[in-house]
Amino acid sequence: MSSASRRQFLKTMSALAGLTVLPSRSASGFGTANAFDMPLLRYDSPTWNSRPSAIRRLLIDVDMRTNIRVVQDPAVVRPTIDELFTSPMLAMTGDRAFPSFRDEEREALRRFLGAGGLWFVDSAEDRLDGGFRESMERELSALFPGETLRRLPSDHVVFQTYYLVDGAPGRVRVANHLDGLTLDGRTAVIYSHNDMMGAWARDRFGNPEFAVHPGGDRQREMATRLGVNLAMFALTLDYKEDQVHVPHILRRRRWRVD
Amino acid sequence: MDPTGTTHSESELLFTGTMAPGWLLVLAVAAVGILVLTWLDLRGMRGSRTATILALRAIVLGTLLVLLLEPAVELRDVRRVPNHVAVVVDQSESHGLEVGGRSGVERAADHVARMAPRIAAHDDHRLESFAFAAELQRVPAEVLSDGSLTADGDRTDILAALDGLTERFDRRDIGGVLLYSDGIDNGELGERTPRGEPLDASHRGRLEALGFPVHTMLTVPPEEVRDVAIERIRHEDFAFVRNAVSVEVDLRVLGYTSGTLPVSLHREGELLQTRVVTLSPDETRHTVRFEFVPELIGKELYTVEVPVLDGELVARNNRDAFVLRIIRDRIRVLHVVGRPGWDQRFLRELLTGNPNVDMVSFYILRSQSDVARAAQSELSLIAFPTDELFNEQLGSFDLVIFQNFTHVPYHMRQYLPNVARYVEGGGGFLMIGGEQSFASGGFAGTEVERILPVRLPSGGTLIDRAAFRPALTDAGQRHPITRVEFDARRNEETWDTLPELTGTNVVRGPAPGAVVLAHHPSRRGDGGMMPVVAVSDVGEGRSMAVTADSTWRWTFQQLGGGGSARPYNTFWGNAMRWLIRDPELNLLQVGIQQTAVRPGEEVRARVRVFRPDYAPAEEVTGRWEARFRDLSALGEEGELRDEGTFETDDRGVAEVLFVPDAPGAWTLRATVPQEDGETLVEEEIVLVRLDDREVRDLAPRRDLLEAIAEATGGTFTALPAGRDALPPLQPARVVDVDRRTFVMLWNHPFVLLALLLLLGVEWSLRRRWGRL
């Protein structure tokens, strides 16, 4: 067995077994400085890290399933300029209301999103209009007055960046859609109602940490696929939408004559 | 003969009364009533007597009614004034060409010599002699009849000539026009009917409104004309680079009815394409179509040629030229990314945010070792279209970017020579670092390495993970790509404070002829510090290498630190413009708005000079020279015809004027010496051409002359005429000479006497017939 196929075999077996084997790509090339990370936001709430294994587990899936190079250990960042600007991606989870960010934290988040950052917010409060949602809307209004979370259309590129995904599956299915906030034509904030991180979370042996309702394992898989799409969206933006136009662009220019 | 005409008297009956028509009607009814009462009164009398009495009374009453209208007679003296008969002869260039041994001017002279005495001898007409080309001019009569008229006009405008007559004479005083021409009109009438179409209603109306007959004489026998001409080249004034453009050439072939005729298109003197036309007796017009792809931005001179055949009337109409201004359409970029990453993501956002960029992106989202754990139908992935991109469509792109991309898994080695040829042929190529780029991407020793501005190691350390801040070289401090700030010191400070790059691909050093703009601060390559940013000209194209995959930090982290994304945007924006040879990046720019001028017409050129930092170069002195090339020898070095110096103003702009004195291709070359000893050189072309519409179609226009004659009520004659009858002309006009007398009739004593006589006769008859 060649080294390549052996590595493939090991990766596949690791995935099947749910082992936290580090993919070879995560430690190769230029190292992890430019690799994909989804840092988790640490903020003033007892449940800021209620799904501690989720992002690590998603990154393993991203690495196994796609060509994206990922970090070995996802970071945890506070809403400060020094910590936010290590990666253009930011994740946040919560299940209850939280106090307002301080002014300097809001400034850091505003600057982060304005500079091209993507903020994924995952509600685990199992309801549409809980305290966490209200707190988030308060913060976004403070960051970008006049802007608000709006429902993302079902054909938004995030649902097709890698997998074709219907709806917004998570640990629960409170809503079948994602919300988002758009800045300068770019979706800068994506908000999930369904505790996607809860569906991603597995223990070190690969066992799911939370039961998924009502769809079971299929729903968990779909949540993972949407997570992979999120990572792909962060890195490729509207690339998949562009593909639709490629034949037209190629046809438009006649650069050869018979 | 009295030159002002003959005098005689005329009279006219007038009614000068002012009584209202209503009253007249009432009186007329009353008169009828009187007649009816008279008739009743006369009942019982013999019919003939009754009729006599009634007639006499009706005459009296009618006369009284007429007298109420106050009749009078106007007596006046009038005079017949002879009108103008204009003999008008075409003196355009085509009319002077010898067809069948004689020119149209000579044939016209023969006819005028016979017609003129007849016109002059007629009391009603006065002979006026004119010649015309672009406009009408009076000439001595003998010039028209002795054949000495010079035919060198560059236009024929019959309508303008006829309008010129109406400006000189009252339309009513023109008895007619004898127009001698070949009918080759390139004025309004000719342009409206280029292919023998009927006159449109508007122009026909204008001819009808002239009010005098135009008798047209066709002076050139169409069947004897032998000529091949490029009648017209139909092209746009500008075209887009790397976009197919088509040009249509209309040929007129007269008198040659068999064989073939090659038509060739040349670019700057080099043969581009040839088309072959098959001649036939049935068709004198032929259209050939050329299609080609302009490769470079700027003005290009194209010529179309057909060979000169034996016996041709004119040789110079077998060649024509035009200038095409080649501009850039939207910039088409092929962005090939081997692995999604932040560097590609921010570059993509920058490029797609530019409305002038058409992006065609292909990102490798899944490698062969990835396990998607989904059916293909559940994935949005498409196959990497290697052959379509690197074989079929490669040449359509202005810029190709390989970012963290390796050709190895896609069996692309066979396509790499295509990439090299594409760049050498004028394309732009950019390779950006990553663990799959440069030597790590398997490009060492390939055709792609040959076009890169860096040389690649074939083994050993291929990647250096240490963070670093690149240092500008001397060239980098001046180069438009790395000159992200106008001010040199500020530019250096900006580079010194940009966020560090996190790792680099290892390269051996710059390729021969490459320019290193930024180097690694500590890592060495062959002959110096290892290049990080390098550029080179490759054939007609350009290439660039950036060995890091983390320039995204120059925007994201820079903004996080409160800085500006401008250095990042400017760096990549300028890189793209430099790679596609955007003329706006030239430090010396020469622009001539005109594409074609006439000999002797002033050409005005605008010269703009920039300093290396793209600030306007004020008070810079340069030289210019104007060189001439004949269209038949475009491949040769031009002949120096004029030269001078210029000095820029505070905007870095200077104006250069020169006057080309001969038809052909003129090139304005500007040179500006640089502080580093090099010289900036820039050229601009302008086509100088005669107005040669006269010889672009030499087919006599019998149809047009017939239409003019028909619309004006004139006659058409093809010379030589079978008979020499003078065409019908309008009679002289009769005019008043201001002597008139009015004789009043109503108060004349004879009228009163006549009335009394009639009444007396009636009274007498009534008395005799017993009716008093």
- Mind telling me how many Å the CA of A81 is from chain B's nearest CA? 6
In the structure, what pLDDT confidence band is assigned to residue B748 with cuts at 50, 70 and 90? confident
Quick: pLDDT tens for A42-62.
Answer: 999 999 999 999 999 999 999
* CB contact at 8 A, B303 and B321: yes
* H or E element, residue B556: helix B556-560
Q: Do B342 and A162 touch (CB under 8 A)?
A: no
* CB contact at 8 A, B260 and B278: yes
Quick check: B487 pLDDT over 90?
no
Tell me, yes or no, whether A150 lies in a domain.
yes
Per-residue pLDDT, A8: 47
Quick check: B676 pLDDT over 60?
yes
Query: Which ranges of B122-197 does DSSP label H, i.e. alpha helix?
Result: 141-145, 158-168, 188-192
Greatest alpha-carbon span in chain A: 70
* CB contact at 8 A, B698 and B44: no
Going from the C-alpha of A200 to that of each of A18, A66, A196, A220, A246, the distances in angstroms are: 12, 17, 6, 7, 34
Q: Do A162 and B440 touch (CB under 8 A)?
A: no
Which CATH number does the domain housing residue A72 bear?
Answer: 3.40.50.12140
- As a whole number of angstroms, the distance between CA B313 and CA B224 comes to 10
Summarize chain B as % helix, strand, coil (round to 5).
30, 35, 35
Which of the two residues, B72 and A135, has the higher pLDDT score? A135
Take residue A98 and report the two structure tokens written for it: 């939280």
Take residue B595 and report the two structure tokens written for it: 């594409």
N-terminal to C-terminal alpha carbon distance within chain B: 68
Quick check: B573 pLDDT over 80?
yes
Give the count of domains, chain A.
1
Q: Do B349 and A7 touch (CB under 8 A)?
A: no
Per-residue pLDDT, A28: 53
Quick: pLDDT tens for B268-318.
Answer: 889 999 999 999 999 999 999 999 988 788 889 999 999 999 999 999 999
In B457-486, the residues whose Cβ lies within 8 Å of chain A are: 463, 465, 467
Dihedral in degrees, nearest 10, Cα atoms A131, A135, A136, A142 = 160
From the centroid of its chain, how far is CA A150?
18
User: What strand order describes the sheet that includes B653-658?
Assistant: B588-592, B603-609, B653-658
* H or E element, residue B687: strand B679-688
The answer, for B556 touching chain A at a CB cutoff of 8 Å, is yes
Tell me, yes or no, whether A210 lies in a domain.
yes
Report the amino acid identity of residue B236: E
Quick one: which of B18, B14, B12, B13 has its CA closest to B68?
B18
**Which one of A10, A14, A67 makes the best mutation probe of the B interface by having the most chain B beta carbons within 10 Å?**
A67
- Give me the percent of chain B exceeding a pLDDT of 70: 97
- Mind telling me how many Å the CA of A66 is from chain B's nearest CA? 5
Which of the two residues, B122 and B218, has the higher pLDDT score? B218
**Which one of A255, A256, A258 makes the best mutation probe of the B interface by having the most chain B beta carbons within 10 Å?**
A255
Q: Do A255 and B465 touch (CB under 8 A)?
A: no
Q: Which residue of B has its CA nearest to A240?
A: B380
Q: Do A256 and B395 touch (CB under 8 A)?
A: yes
- As a whole number of angstroms, the distance between CA B430 and CA B454 comes to 12
**What is the architecture, at CATH level 2, of domain B227-327?**
Sandwich (2.60)
- Give the β-pairing of A178-183 and A118-123: unpaired
The answer, for A238 touching chain B at a CB cutoff of 8 Å, is yes
The answer, for A250 touching chain B at a CB cutoff of 8 Å, is yes
* CB contact at 8 A, A188 and A234: no
The answer, for B676 touching chain A at a CB cutoff of 8 Å, is no
Quick: pLDDT tens for B236-255.
Answer: 888 888 788 999 999 999 99
Quick: pLDDT tens for B337-382.
Answer: 999 999 999 999 999 988 888 888 999 998 878 787 888 888 887 7
B625 CB neighbour count, 10 Å cutoff? 18
Please, which residues have CB within 8 angstroms of residue B421's CB and are 6 or more apart in sequence?
none
* CB contact at 8 A, A222 and A165: yes
Quick one: which of B225, B222, B306, B223 has its CA closest to B259?
B306
Q: Which residue of B has its CA nearest to A84?
A: B560
- As a whole number of angstroms, the distance between CA A63 and CA A227 comes to 12
Pick one of 3.40.50.2000, 3.40.50.880, 3.90.1150.10, 3.20.20.70 as the CATH number of B331-367+382-581: 3.40.50.880
Quick check: A181 pLDDT over 90?
yes
| B207-227 average pLDDT score | 94
The CATH fold assigned to B83-224+699-731 is Rossmann fold (3.40.50)
In chain B, residues with a C-beta closer than 8 Å to the C-beta of A39 are none
Quick one: which of B731, B593, B583, B723 has its CA closest to B655?
B593
Same fold, B227-327 and B331-367+382-581: no
- Mind telling me how many Å the CA of A68 is from chain B's nearest CA? 6
* CB contact at 8 A, B204 and B711: yes
Neighbour-count burial of B289, counting CB atoms closer than 10 A to its CB (0-12 exposed, 13-18 middle, 19+ buried): exposed
The answer, for A237 touching chain B at a CB cutoff of 8 Å, is yes
* CB contact at 8 A, B184 and B190: yes
- As a whole number of angstroms, the distance between CA B134 and CA B157 comes to 5
The answer, for A233 touching chain B at a CB cutoff of 8 Å, is no
In chain B, residues with a C-beta closer than 8 Å to the C-beta of A84 are 560
Going from the C-alpha of B718 to that of each of A103, B186, B213, the distances in angstroms are: 98, 20, 17
The answer, for A88 touching chain B at a CB cutoff of 8 Å, is yes
Q: How many CA atoms lie less than 13 Å away from A48 in the CB half-sphere?
A: 16
- Mind telling me how many Å the CA of B396 is from chain A's nearest CA? 5
Neighbour-count burial of B739, counting CB atoms closer than 10 A to its CB (0-12 exposed, 13-18 middle, 19+ buried): exposed
- As a whole number of angstroms, the distance between CA B723 and CA B742 comes to 51
| B393-417 average pLDDT score | 91
Q: Do A257 and B434 touch (CB under 8 A)?
A: no
Coil/strand/helix, residue B36: helix
* CB contact at 8 A, B129 and B140: yes
Tell me, yes or no, whether A258 lies in a domain.
no
- Mind telling me how many Å the CA of B407 is from chain A's nearest CA? 15
Tell me, yes or no, whether A142 lies in a domain.
yes
Task: Check whether the bond before B531 is cis (ω within 30° of 0).
Answer: no
N-terminal to C-terminal alpha carbon distance within chain A: 50
DSSP string computed for B601-658: --EEEEEEEB-TTSSB-TT-EEEEEEEEE-GGGTTSPPEEEEEEEEE--TTSEEEEEE
- As a whole number of angstroms, the distance between CA B207 and CA B212 comes to 9
| B473-482 average pLDDT score | 89
The answer, for B371 touching chain A at a CB cutoff of 8 Å, is yes
| A152-165 average pLDDT score | 93
- Mind telling me how many Å the CA of A4 is from chain B's nearest CA? 8
* CB contact at 8 A, B18 and B734: no
Q: What are phi and psi of B670, to 5 degrees?
A: -110, 140
The answer, for A205 touching chain B at a CB cutoff of 8 Å, is no
Quick one: which of B494, B498, B491 has its CA closest to B611?
B491
- Mind telling me how many Å the CA of B546 is from chain A's nearest CA? 15
Q: Which residue from B380, B503, B555 is facing A31, i.e. has the nearest CB?
A: B503
Quick one: which of B592, B589, B721, B696 has its CA closest to B648?
B589
Coil/strand/helix, residue B682: strand
- As a whole number of angstroms, the distance between CA B717 and CA B213 comes to 13
Q: Do B243 and A254 touch (CB under 8 A)?
A: yes
Per-residue pLDDT, A5: 45
- Out of A26-30, A110-114, B117-121, B395-399, the most confident range is A110-114
- As a whole number of angstroms, the distance between CA B434 and CA B441 comes to 9
Quick one: which of A182, A120, A176 has its CA closest to A147?
A182
Least confident segment among A16-30, B80-94, B353-367, B627-641? A16-30
- Mind telling me how many Å the CA of A142 is from chain B's nearest CA? 19
Q: Given its phi and psi angles, is residue B298 left (phi above 0), alpha (psi -120 to 50 degrees) or beta?
A: left
* CB contact at 8 A, B283 and B250: no
Structural domain that includes position A160:
3-252
Q: Which residue of A has its CA nearest to B294?
A: A255
Tell me, yes or no, whether A118 lies in a domain.
yes
In chain A, residues with a C-beta closer than 8 Å to the C-beta of B359 are 242
Quick check: B71 pLDDT over 90?
no
In B181-210, the residues whose Cβ lies within 8 Å of chain A are: none
Which of the two residues, B360 and A90, has the higher pLDDT score? A90
Which of the two residues, B78 and B306, has the higher pLDDT score? B306
Strand ranges in B201-280 using DSSP code E only, listed in sequence order: 214-218, 227-234, 238-240, 245-254, 260-267, 270-278
**What is the architecture, at CATH level 2, of domain B590-693?**
Sandwich (2.60)
**Which one of B326, B365, B435 makes the best mutation probe of the A interface by having the most chain A beta carbons within 10 Å?**
B365
Q: Domain residue spans in chain B?
A: 6-79+737-768, 83-224+699-731, 227-327, 331-367+382-581, 590-693
From the centroid of its chain, how far is CA B680?
34
Mean pLDDT, chain B, whole residue set: 90
Tell me, yes or no, whether A257 lies in a domain.
no
Q: Which residue from A28, A115, A257 is facing B560, i.e. has the nearest CB?
A: A115
From the centroid of its chain, how far is CA A169?
13
Per-residue pLDDT, B296: 80
The answer, for A119 touching chain B at a CB cutoff of 8 Å, is no
- As a whole number of angstroms, the distance between CA B317 and CA B229 comes to 5
- As a whole number of angstroms, the distance between CA B331 and CA B317 comes to 39
Q: Do B556 and A116 touch (CB under 8 A)?
A: yes
| B10-18 average pLDDT score | 81
Quick: pLDDT tens for B38-61.
Answer: 888 888 888 888 899 889 989 999
Q: What are phi and psi of B228, to 5 degrees?
A: -120, 125
In the structure, what pLDDT confidence band is assigned to residue B1 with cuts at 50, 70 and 90? very low
The answer, for B341 touching chain A at a CB cutoff of 8 Å, is yes
Task: Check whether the bond before B567 is cis (ω within 30° of 0).
Answer: no
The answer, for A15 touching chain B at a CB cutoff of 8 Å, is yes
If DSSP states are collapsed to H, E and C, what string results for B47-114? HHHHHHHHHHHHHHHHHHHHHHCCEEEEEEEEEEECEEEEEEEECEHHHHCEECCEEHHHHHHHHHHH
Which of the two residues, A4 and B640, has the higher pLDDT score? B640
Tell me, yes or no, whether A95 lies in a domain.
yes
